[in-house]
């Protein structure tokens, strides 16, 4: 039996893939413990009325050790305090883990932002002598720098300070014995900076228990209408002006025959909504709010195309967003307005069409090209999407790889 300690800022009932990995490891008869703060993502109020068994010490044969933190609140200063409290309190309450006197096979750090979660794992490694493995979900310092870029502000640091921050982040990553990169671009970056450390490619994945594995979209090609779906967070990294310009042009060409269905919420939702109404395209754009992951497969099956865009910024283009993985799991053809990792995956899988995130004319032509395809051609693209998912992103396959590395 492997004794596995997972160090993570987020755990059930917060909805992250680390929950499914922990359950999977426990089902393999590993002795799984999780070290985490009390849940607060995206807001502490979401968990006030949760059933007590979801916050208890035992969750699906997983032992959870929680400690108090400064809960998430709006504002950057509060977010920084939240991150720092996670590190400080994690070290203060580490006696909960050290006093167990368990011989750990591995400490697995689930590193979203911030990078300092690795320091908590490294602190515990000192006392436990266990192998430290980090699953890198957000690559630092790129994640920090891209945040300021995407908000259309100048970097708040001069070049020298950025170099110092980069050096500091490399030193933190080097504390791990093994790094798991969630994209090929991440892997290349980590291998360049961690020359004497092992790096493995382990893509991000999704909870696919509700996914309907099928590529049969022929039914929808029989209709004149084309339904395009976007699902996910309305963030500053999405090129909404590009979408609006393309929608305006396609409405001029096809009227209401092409419908755009946007699911989700976020900081840019109101901005996009204003753009929709000010450009008189609210009759072809449907803002449908937040839906659960369990609802998405049926929703996606009733749409023809999945559209995905990221602004043209190298720091952002290294990531493989989970929304792309979810679309491919549901055999969706993909219209991608992005460079970097997304462009590589769409091109390699032949699951759709690519355009630059600044070129709305190319986006328009790609959608028209798909619209004019035969039913068999559309089916083949859907099948390519699903096959690439099965070979690269399928949950059980990736979890088995992680298990073998622990």
Per-residue pLDDT of the chain in tens (406 residues, 90 and over written 9): 899 999 998 888 777 889 989 999 999 989 999 998 877 665 555 555 454 344 457 778 899 998 877 776 666 677 777 778 888 888 888 888 988 989 999 999 999 878 889 999 999 999 999 999 999 988 887 766 665 555 455 555 567 777 888 888 899 999 999 999 988 888 988 988 888 889 999 988 877 665 655 545 544 444 458 899 988 888 778 888 999 999 999 999 999 899 999 998 877 888 889 998 999 999 999 988 888 777 778 888 888 899 988 887 776 777 788 888 888 888 889 999 888 888 999 999 999 999 988 888 999 999 999 999 888 888 899 999 999 998 988 888 899 999 999 8
Assess if CATH 3.40.50.2000 describes domain 218-392.
yes
What residues have CB less than 8 Å from 188, skipping those under 6 apart? none
Of the candidates 116, 115, 108, 174, which has an alpha carbon nearest to the alpha carbon of residue 139?
A: 115
Q: Kindly state the helix (H) or strand (E) to which residue 174 belongs, with its residue range.
A: none
Angle at 42 between CA 10 and CA 123, to 5 degrees: 30
pTM value is 0.79
Strand extents, DSSP E, 328-406: 334-337, 352-355
For the chain, the structural domain boundaries read: 3-202, 218-392
Task: Give dist(CA 154, CA 113) in Å, integer.
Answer: 21
Assess if CATH 3.40.50.2000 describes domain 3-202.
yes
CB-based contact 108:133 (threshold 8 Å): yes
Strand ranges across the sheet with 106-111 = 58-59, 62-67, 31-37, 3-8, 106-111, 131-136, 178-181, 198-201
Q: What is the pLDDT of residue 218?
A: 44
CB-based contact 357:242 (threshold 8 Å): yes
Q: What is the pLDDT of residue 62?
A: 92
Q: What is the pLDDT of residue 33?
A: 95
- The percent helix, strand, coil of the chain (3-state, each to 5) is 45, 15, 40
């Amino acid at each position: 039996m492997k004794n596995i300690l997972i160090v993570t800022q987020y755990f059930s009932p917060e909805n992250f893939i680390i929950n499914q990995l922990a359950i999977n490891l426990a089902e393999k008869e590993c002795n799984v413990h999780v070290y985490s703060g009390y849940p607060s993502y995206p807001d502490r109020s979401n968990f006030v009325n949760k059933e007590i068994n979801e916050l208890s010490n035992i969750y699906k044969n997983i032992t959870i050790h929680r400690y108090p933190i400064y809960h998430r609140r709006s504002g950057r200063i509060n977010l920084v305090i939240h991150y720092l409290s996670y590190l400080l309190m994690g070290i203060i309450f580490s006696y909960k883990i050290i006093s167990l006197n368990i011989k750990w096979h591995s400490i697995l750090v689930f590193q979203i932002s911030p990078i300092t979660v690795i320091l908590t794992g490294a602190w515990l490694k000192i006392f436990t002598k266990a192998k430290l493995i980090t699953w890198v979900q957000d690559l630092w310092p790129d994640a920090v720098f891209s945040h300021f870029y995407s908000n259309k502000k100048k970097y708040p640091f001069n070049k020298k300070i950025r170099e110092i921050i980069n050096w500091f982040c490399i030193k933190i990553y080097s504390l791990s014995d093994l790094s798991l990169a969630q994209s090929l671009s991440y892997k290349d970056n980590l291998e360049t900076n961690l020359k004497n450390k092992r790096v493995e490619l382990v893509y991000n994945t999704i909870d696919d228990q509700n996914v309907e594995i099928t590529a049969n979209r022929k039914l929808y090609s029989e209709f004149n209408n084309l339904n395009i779906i976007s699902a996910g967070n309305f963030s500053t990294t999405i090129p909404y002006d590009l979408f609006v310009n393309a929608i305006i042009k396609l409405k001029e060409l096809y009227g209401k025959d092409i419908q755009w269905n946007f699911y989700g919420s976020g900081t840019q939702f109101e901005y996009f909504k204003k753009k929709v109404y000010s450009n008189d395209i609210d009759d072809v754009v449907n803002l449908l709010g937040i839906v659960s992951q369990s609802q998405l497969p049926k929703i996606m099956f009733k749409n023809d195309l999945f559209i995905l865009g990221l602004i043209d910024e190298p720091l952002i283009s290294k990531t493989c967003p989970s929304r792309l993985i979810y679309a491919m799991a549901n055999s969706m053809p993909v219209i991608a307005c992005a460079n970097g990792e997304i462009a590589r995956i769409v091109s390699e899988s032949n699951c759709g069409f690519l355009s630059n995130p600044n070129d709305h004319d190319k986006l328009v032509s790609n959608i028209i090209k798909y619209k004019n395809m035969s039913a068999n051609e559309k089916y083949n693209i859907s099948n390519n999407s699903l096959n690439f998912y099965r070979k690269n992103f399928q949950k059980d396959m990736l979890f088995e790889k992680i298990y073998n590395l622990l």
